[in-house]
C-alpha cells in the first residue's frame, strides 16, 4: 500500500483529531483542536498527513523545531492501516521537512512502558537518550497566576 | 548585586562562550557558543536570554517553541554567581515569553544523575514526566 503524504489543511481538523483519538493519543489534558491549529499556524511547525485514495487522513505527524532541535509529536497511524510502513514514511517525511530547514537533530518522547513504540523508533534509526524529562504546565495569564 | 535579564545580543558572544565553557565543559563543537549563538539569534532570538552584571554575562537560558511544546536548554550561571536566584529569574522570564507565544507546556531534559538540578526545577514548579526520550541525528545524505 502506498499512501500520499501532504501537509494538513484546515478542513482536515475533524478527521485528524478523530485519528488521534482512535490511536489512543488523547489521554492527557491537552486540547487537540487547539494543538492542530497552533502547530499549523506557526512558520516553524506543521502537521503532515498520510491520506488514502479518497484524500482522507490515515496517518499523521506533527513536526516542529526551535532551531536547535526538531521535535515529533502526534505520530499516529490508523490501527486498520498498520504494518505497511506508513509510520516510517511519515517520520521520514518529517525528517526531510526538518532537514530542509537545516535541522538535523530530531527528538521525540515515548510514554514509559510503550515498548512497541520504542522498538518502532529503534528500527528507523532512533536511540534512547539517557535523560530525565521534566514538565511544567503554563497557566493562562491572569490575576494570582504568575 | 544588580543583575539585568535581557535578550542576548551579538556583543554577548564572548561572555556566553566563557560561561558555557565553564558550565558545559564537555560540549560538542556544534553546541559551542561560536556555532550555536548565531543560529539562535537568527531564529526566535527573543527566547535567548542572558543575565548581565555590570555588562558582564553571568547567566544564560535558551528557550525554544516548536509550535507544540516549549523547551528550555542552556541554563547556566557562572559558579561565582550561583545560589543568588539568577537561574530562577532566567527560567521565569523564559516562561513568560513562551506563554506569550501561546505555549501551554514546557519540557526539559536533565541528566539522570543530576539530582541538584532536578531539585532546582522542582522548586520552580517542574515535575518529572515518565517518558523515554529518543533522538536521531539525520545526516544530510540520509534523505531518501
Q: Which of A68, A131, A138 shows the shortest C-beta gap to B104? A: A138
The tens digit of pLDDT for each residue in B71-104 reads: 999 999 999 999 999 999 999 999 999 999 999 9
Beta carbons of A134 and B69 less than 8 Å apart: no
Beta carbons of B103 and A138 less than 8 Å apart: yes
The C-alpha cell 514509559 sits at: A112
Across A25-53, average pLDDT = 93
The C-alpha cell 537560558 sits at: B61
Question: Is B36 or A67 the better-scoring residue by pLDDT?
Answer: B36
Distance from C-alpha of A24 to C-alpha of A104, rounded to nearest angstrom: 29
pLDDT value, residue A142: 47
Q: Which of A64, A118, A140 shows the shortest C-beta gap to B66? A: A64
Beta carbons of A110 and B132 less than 8 Å apart: yes
Distance from C-alpha of B51 to C-alpha of B12, rounded to nearest angstrom: 10
- Residue A42: burial class (beta carbons within 10 Å; 0-12, 13-18, 19+): middle
Across A28-55, average pLDDT = 94
The tens digit of pLDDT for each residue in A93-129 reads: 999 999 999 999 999 999 999 999 999 999 999 999 9
Closest CA to B70 of B92, B101, B46: B101
Beta carbons of A133 and B106 less than 8 Å apart: no
pLDDT at A132 over 80: yes
Beta carbons of A67 and B142 less than 8 Å apart: no
Q: Which of B98, B104, B135 shows the shortest C-beta gap to A106? A: B135
The tens digit of pLDDT for each residue in B7-62 reads: 999 999 999 999 999 999 998 888 899 999 999 999 999 999 999 999 999 999 99
The C-alpha cell 532541535 sits at: A69
pLDDT value, residue A97: 97
pLDDT value, residue A28: 79
Q: Is B110 near chain A, with CB under 8 Å?
A: yes
Closest CA to B65 of B89, B100, B32: B100
| Residue B60 CA, distance from chain mean position | 6
Beta carbons of B128 and A132 less than 8 Å apart: yes
pLDDT value, residue B81: 97
Which of A67, A72, A119, A127 is the best residue to mutate to test the B interface, defined by the most B CB atoms within 10 Å of its own CB? A67
Amino acid at each position: 500500500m502506498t499512501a500520499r503524504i501532504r501537509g494538513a489543511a484546515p478542513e482536515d481538523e475533524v478527521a485528524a483529531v478523530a485519528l488521534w483519538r482512535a490511536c489512543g493519543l488523547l489521554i492527557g489534558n491537552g486540547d487537540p483542536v487547539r494543538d492542530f491549529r497552533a502547530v499549523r499556524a506557526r512558520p516553524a511547525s506543521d502537521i503532515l498527513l498520510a491520506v488514502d485514495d479518497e484524500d482522507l487522513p490515515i496517518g499523521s505527524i506533527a513536526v516542529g523545531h526551535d532551531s536547535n532541535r526538531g521535535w515529533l509529536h502526534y505520530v499516529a497511524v490508523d490501527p486498520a492501516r498498520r504494518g505497511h510502513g506508513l509510520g516510517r514514511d511519515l517520520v521520514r517525511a518529517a525528517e526531510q521537512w526538518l532537514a530542509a530547514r537545516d535541522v538535523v537533530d530530531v527528538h521525540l518522547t515515548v510514554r514509559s512502558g510503550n515498548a512497541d513504540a520504542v522498538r518502532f523508533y529503534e528500527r528507523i534509526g532512533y536511540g534512547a537518550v539517557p535523560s530525565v524529562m521534566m514538565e511544567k504546565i503554563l497557566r493562562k495569564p491572569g490575576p494570582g497566576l504568575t | 548585586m544588580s543583575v539585568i535579564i535581557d535578550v542576548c545580543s551579538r556583543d554577548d558572544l564572548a561572555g556566553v562562550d566563557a560561561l558555557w565553557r565553564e558550565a558545559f565543559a564537555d560540549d560538542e563543537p556544534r553546541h559551542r557558543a561560536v556555532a550555536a549563538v548565531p543560529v539562535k539569534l537568527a531564529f526566535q532570538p527573543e527566547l535567548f536570554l542572558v543575565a548581565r552584571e555590570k555588562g558582564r554575562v553571568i547567566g544564560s537560558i535558551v528557550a525554544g517553541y516548536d509550535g507544540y511544546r516549549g523547551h528550555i536548554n542552556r541554563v547556566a550561571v557562572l559558579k561565582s554567581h550561583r545560589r543568588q536566584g539568577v537561574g530562577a529569574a532566567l527560567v521565569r522570564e523564559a516562561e513568560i515569553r513562551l506563554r506569550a507565544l501561546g505555549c501551554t507546556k514546557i519540557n526539559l531534559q536533565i541528566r539522570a544523575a543530576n539530582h541538584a538540578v532536578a531539585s532546582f526545577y522542582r522548586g520552580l514548579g517542574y515535575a518529572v514526566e515518565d517518558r523515554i526520550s529518543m533522538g536521531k541525528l539525520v545526516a544530510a545524505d540520509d534523505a531518501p
